[in-house]
Structure 1
Amino acid sequence: MASILYAEDEFTNRKLIEIQLQRANLNCDLACNGEEAWEMFQNGDYKLIILDRYMPKMNGDELARKIKQVRPDIPLIAITSDDSDVKQLREAGFSEIFIKPLHGREYITLIRQYLED
């Protein structure tokens, strides 16, 4: 079982993150929308969840609120291309917020910190 759940609707972004995580020897389950991520979350035991802000079927902040109702202790990382989303994402329960484009080393370092806690 993977320790990370990553939800991203854009195929290219999803693939890039998957490659970065594999190179860092981090196991990750991938979801292509919020609904799929919610189903995977309910059937998994993840240590960290990474969500894109804008996704079909259920956006990242809506999904974060649902997850926090079930597991308030789980760290959530948001990924967005719009830095004006930060306040709303914090209110939804995200621990960290990354603004696209992502910088690999910084991103992987932060993920490792959350997995070690």
Structure 2
Amino acid sequence: MTHLTHFMMAGSGLHTFVLYLGPHIALFTIKSTQCGRVDLKTAPYDTIQLKRSPSWLEKDCSEFGPPIFPLLPDTLVRVPVSSILPQVQIEAILWGIGTALGELPPYFISRA
């Protein structure tokens, strides 16, 4: 079996990114920008789950307290990316591990 065939049989993780990780990062970024803070999660893995949204998604910004990152005039960025990335890091790492593990069965089948 050629490498191209193996690639076509195996997934790339794109579907799980589009369905899970991408929306999670986008929603967290939007909410943290609206609220001016990144300490929105009640648990390290407070994320989208089946039939359950994250605890921070439906809350009003006033429930989190005053903004840590104030909106400055003449700027488009309120919350630095360097502050958002650590907040979505666990989800991204787990997604990457899951995608990598999902590649193992097709790899071993193609080698058989």
Normalised by the length of structure 2, the TM-score is 0.26
Structure number with higher strand proportion: 1
Higher RCO, 1 vs 2 (CA within 8 Å, ≥6 residues apart): 2
**Structure ID, larger Rg:** 2
TM, length-normalised to structure 1: 0.26
